[in-house]
Amino acid sequence: MHRREFVEAAVAATIVPAMSQPEPLHRATIPATGERIARVGLGTWQTFDVGADRARRARLGETLRVFEASGASVIDTSPMYGSSESVLGDLLAEVRIRDKVFLATKVWTQGEAAGVSQMTDSLRKLRVDRLDLIQIHNLVDWRTHLKTLRAWKERGTTRLVGITHYQASAASEVLAILRAEPVDVLQFNLSLDEPDAAERVLGICAERGVAFIANRPFGGGGSLVRARGRPLPGWAPEYDIHSWAQFLLKWVLAHPEVTCAIPGTGNPQHLADNLGAARGRLPDQAGRVRMQRFWRDL
């Protein structure tokens, strides 16, 4: 992925102050295990790639504390994301919440030996002996890695196996894999700026019992830039929407097939705002259409 996944700036319109006792986050079931996870999680593309920078690590530690206190679940990373795996592993140990999160990473290389080496390195960087989910990043050498991951799942090194992509042009290949191979999770792009997954992928995920994780829910950050400075529609409170981030995320979550969305941020205030999308009322199908029409004309 070459575009910035999330624009770290104050572009989320009005951010609502955190309530002292917020309602629990909406949760969805992972079909393969029956476990319930919060419907908004946390992506780490670029935002956790901070190396040894102490000030930035401290802010990320606070972000993780907000994440844990809210009852959120999924944190997604990748060896593709620079120092993100190592930073995340260090901070999860520092704030002592590893056992309270659903930790996912990826394999992104060619060849069996290279894949095993990369995944073993991910375990080391994340400071764990097993992961909740390992995904084949952007379908790179997926046949080889799927075989390895099934063996790792059998021995308990990963609980779940998934595939990912971030481009709508990959939908046909994704669909072919889902029809031919048993996988537990699909991570794919879904946003008001990139709605194709809703038409081509979600149905088969529901049919095959595959959990769906929505990446790029802000269109790679471009959606927030587009909305900056513009007022929310007057009817937004009907869906308990108080910011553009929540508007964008609630449209994604309004698809019942979506298990979780993973917007990326390293800002604790933005994280709290994002998590607000997993509370309150969600649009029905008519509401989704209403939101999509408003966004098209924005």
For position 21, what pLDDT does the model report? 60
C-beta of residue 160 within 8 angstroms of C-beta of residue 33: yes
Q: What is the pLDDT of residue 158?
A: 98
Confidence bin at 170 (pLDDT 50/70/90): very high
E strands present in 39-195: 42-43, 74-76, 102-107, 131-136, 158-164, 185-189
Please tell me the predicted confidence (pLDDT) of residue 197: 84
**Tokens 């700036």, located at residue:** 9
Which domains, and CATH codes, for the chain? 35-229+255-270 (3.20.20.100)
Phi then psi for residue 207, to 5 deg, are -65, -40
pLDDT tens digit sequence for 179-226: 999 999 999 999 999 998 888 899 999 999 999 999 999 998 999 999
Give the distance from CA 287 to its chain's centroid. Answer: 23
**Tokens, residue 195:** 């709605």
Whole-model pTM?
0.92
Question: Exposure pattern of 17-27 as b/e (b: 16+ CB <10 Å)?
Answer: eeeeebeebeb
Each residue's pLDDT tens digit, 221-277: 999 999 999 999 999 999 999 999 999 999 999 999 999 999 999 999 999 999 999
What's the chain's average pLDDT? 92
- Amino acid type, 253: L
Residue 36 token pair: 């319930």
55, 118, 283 from 286: Cα distances, Å: 45, 45, 7
Residue 5 clears pLDDT 50, i.e. is over it: no
Q: What is the pLDDT of residues 26-75, one digit of tens each?
A: 999 999 999 999 999 999 998 999 999 999 999 999 999 999 999 999 99
